[in-house]
Amino acid sequence: MTTKISGLWLPLITPFKDGAVDFASYDGLVNHYIAKGVDGLLPLGTTGESPALDDDEIAAVIERTLAIADGRVPVFAGVGGNATAKVEKELKRLRHLPIAGILSVCPYYNRPSQDGLIAHFRRVAAATDRDVMIYNIPYRTAVNLSNDSLLELADVPNIVGVKDSSGSIEQSLELLRRKPADFAVLTGEDALFFTMRANGAEGGILAASHLLTEGFVEVERSFRTDDLPGARNAWAPLAGFVPMLFAEANPMPIKHLLWRQGLITSPECRLPLTRISDGLARRLDSIFAEKAA
């Protein structure tokens, strides 16, 4: 059954403590953000440091997300890579888990052509009976899925949408003009949430919404009721804060602030990620205290 992909989705961090996944903190995060009003959860994206998790941890994180969410919101999981056969194998390994769908990133590093990208995602979609969202993020993958290619893939029945982080507002707005009505565009550019939503995007998958979540939820609710002034007012205090969360490698700044709030027990990441600089920590602490007041 196809899940309606819209609204504010959270690409969950994976908390660690002394090198292991901190499931106690993770359970709390899932409950916390559902209570805050997010529309969907996405574990094991790059914000969740999925490349640094082993196979058993990946399965355990998905299982835990499903168990704690308990059907209250849909759950998609990040399943992607730069070798098509390996992604197919991973989908087979995880097929027993009742996720609603997957988010699959464009193959990175090897820089396939457009026909290679199309063939890759056709194979990924054929390897699963779940919904597939494509993740286009050229500044991480070194390859840009063109709108022509994406719209060709939109004809595949279980390719239902895209997390659009193209890095080009022209490309993103063109996609919104051309996309089929039943194909969801969710922005992955946190700073463009208001802009993209105002131009017809169905929502956003936003790492920044780990913080000041109520504000992001209010932006989304205002757009749903066609309240543009309300959305603008809700976005105003977020606009300057969001870029600070990406001043150093994601999710290090987000984890720092979640730790400061007591939502996770440690800000640690897995190498090669470390912790944010002392200077950024001081700035974030000061700005967040002001925004949260």
Report the number of distinct structural domains present in the chain: 1
What are phi and psi for residue 72, nearest 5 degrees?
-70, -30
The residue type at 187: T
The CATH number that applies at residue 102 is 3.20.20.70
Judge whether 135 counts as a catalytic residue.
yes
Of 206, 127, 121, which is closest to residue 160 (Cα–Cα)? 121
> pLDDT tens string for the chain (293 positions)?
456 799 999 999 999 999 999 999 999 999 999 999 999 999 999 999 999 999 999 999 999 999 999 999 999 999 999 999 999 999 999 999 999 999 999 999 999 999 999 999 999 999 999 999 999 999 999 999 999 999 999 999 999 999 999 999 999 999 999 999 999 999 999 999 999 999 999 999 999 999 999 999 999 999 999 999 999 999 999 999 999 999 999 999 999 999 999 999 999 999 999 999 999 999 999 988 887 76
Say which of 26, 33, 135, 179 is annotated catalytic: 135
Examine residue 251 and state whether it is found in any structural domain, yes or no: no
Is 255 a domain residue?
no
Residue 203 C-alpha from the chain's centroid: 11
Residue (of 138, 135, 19) closest to 87 by Cα position: 135
DSSP string across 172-196: HHHHHHHS-TTSEEEE--GGGHHHH
For Cα atoms 219, 27, 287, give the angle at the middle one, nearest 5 degrees: 45
In a domain, 1, yes or no: no
Token pair belonging to 82: 């730069």
Residue 129 falls inside a structural domain: yes
* pLDDT value of position 1: 47
> pLDDT digit string (tens) for 104-146?
999 999 999 999 999 999 999 999 999 999 999 999 999 999 9
163 is catalytic: yes
Burial 52-65 (b: 16+ CB within 10 A, else e): ebeeebbbebbebb
278: in domain: no
* DSSP of 31-50: HHHHHHT-SEE-TTSTTTTG
Return phi, psi of residue 13, to 5°: -70, 160
**Is 68 part of any domain?**
yes
Residue 284 forms part of a structural domain: no
Within-domain flag for 279: no
The pLDDT of residue 2 is 59
Annotated active-site residue in 17, 36, 108, 163: 163
Q: What one-character DSSP code corresponds to residue 75?
A: B
What's the domain range around 96?
7-243
CA–CA distance, 251 with 125 (Å, rounded to integer): 28
